[in-house]
Amino acid sequence: MSVSSLRRRLRAVALEADRRYVAFGIVSVGTVLLAAVVFDSGFTNPLPLYYLYGGLVAGNVTLITVVVSINQLVLSRDFGSPNQLRDEIRQTIDFHRSATNRTDVPFEPAPFFQASVDQLESYSTALSRSVVDSDEAGRELSAAVSTFNSRIDEHVSAVRTRLEDDASSPLLAVVVAVLPVRYMDLIQSVQYVKTEFADELSADDENLLEEVRTELEQLDIARYYFVSIAIQRELSRLSQTLLYTGIPAVFLAITMLVRLAGYETAAELSMATILLAILTVAIGFLPIALLTAFAVRISIVARHVSITPFDLRLEREPVEK
């Protein structure tokens, strides 16, 4: 397996796999390692389990507290006055119309982004046909336009493939499709053509270049918006999942502490108790594994996006060949 293939697989697991399966995989690996150490060392003393279960109770209670904080954060972004909500809805409708130039596109991430890239492709194709390469300057202009048009075509094709083939949620499919795209580079290429070939551009060429630039800006804005919504949704799912797993894990750890209280300090544990301890410890670590699985995806998404006047992503992703 090549390095690029391994990187793609790891990226798919980190970004696209169900977080529950990722957490289950983490817990499974940890359980196997724990069982191997326990049976290899002949563990029979119950004293370390007191500290372990006590730590699990304290840790999971802390996670439940984090759940409350996350819910407060998410709710604070959703609530607002009627005027604020009205303005937000109107701005969303206006942006939807300006980005797609259509009124029949659903207010859903995948159809909206598909219509936007289709609009970008139509402007790009019209620009390629409009540019005339009758002389040397015209040929240079045509070559420059062809260069960034080919990049636009690659992006449009990649987005279409992702949205058509991805079986995950539409919002996640859109985020994964546009995460590595650098729209600022494409906008800079358009600005370069407008500046360097100002004398060779006709009025129609300038209008089409402006349409391409505007559409790229709209896509970049939509990308930032969808990423913020995706992170907000991930935080909501994380809080819900931690609540569902954290409370049972706490009660299970407390139950095992009560059970172990009946043992003498120097008593030896039976094989059934050891197996039960391994199982309950694995369940106790499940909320931590879920937090890790969600945090990895959220951090990767956040690392690719910076809403500033400049593109601050200095560490570019390696090009996959």
Give the count of domains, the chain.
1
Q: Which residue has the higher pLDDT, 244 or 6?
A: 244
Q: Which residue has the higher pLDDT, 283 or 1?
A: 283
Average pLDDT, the chain: 80
- Is position 31 within any domain? yes
- Is position 310 within any domain? no
Instruction: Tally DSSP H helices, then E strands, for the chain.
Output: 11, 0
14-18, 168-172, 241-245, 281-285: least confidently modelled range: 168-172
With pLDDT > 90 as the criterion, what percentage of the chain qualifies?
A: 12
- Quick: pLDDT tens for 112-130: 888 888 888 888 888 888 8
- Is position 320 within any domain? no
- Is position 311 within any domain? no
Banded pLDDT at 314 (limits 50, 70, 90) = very low
Banded pLDDT at 156 (limits 50, 70, 90) = confident
- Going by the DSSP 8-state scheme, the letter that residue 132 receives in this structure is -
- Which residue from 96, 119, 120 is spatially nearest to 108, judged by alpha carbons? 96
- Quick: pLDDT tens for 31-78: 999 888 888 877 767 788 888 889 999 999 988 888 778 777 777 766
Task: Show the domain range for 51.
Answer: 3-303
CA geometry: angle 160, 169, 221, nearest 5 deg = 60
Model pTM above 0.85:
no
- Is position 297 within any domain? yes
- Going by the DSSP 8-state scheme, the letter that residue 307 receives in this structure is -
Give the C-alpha separation, 59 to 187, whole Å.
48
Long-range Cβ pairs for the range 108-115 (8 Å, 24+):
108/170, 109/170, 109/171, 109/173, 109/174, 109/226, 110/163, 110/170, 110/171, 110/173, 110/174, 112/222, 113/159, 113/163, 113/174, 113/177, 113/178, 113/219, 113/222, 113/226, 114/159, 114/160, 114/163
- Is position 47 within any domain? yes
Give the C-alpha separation, 188 to 16, whole Å.
30
Residue with tokens 């407008």: 194
Query: Mean pLDDT, to the nearest integer, of 289-317?
Result: 71
Looking at residue 306, its pLDDT comes to: 58
- Is position 313 within any domain? no
Looking at residue 316, its pLDDT comes to: 47
Looking at residue 199, its pLDDT comes to: 80
Q: Which residues contact 320 (CB under 8 A, 6 or more apart)?
A: 4, 7, 8
Q: Which residue has the higher pLDDT, 177 or 252?
A: 252
- Is position 315 within any domain? no
- Quick: pLDDT tens for 244-284: 999 999 999 999 888 887 776 666 777 888 888 889 999 99
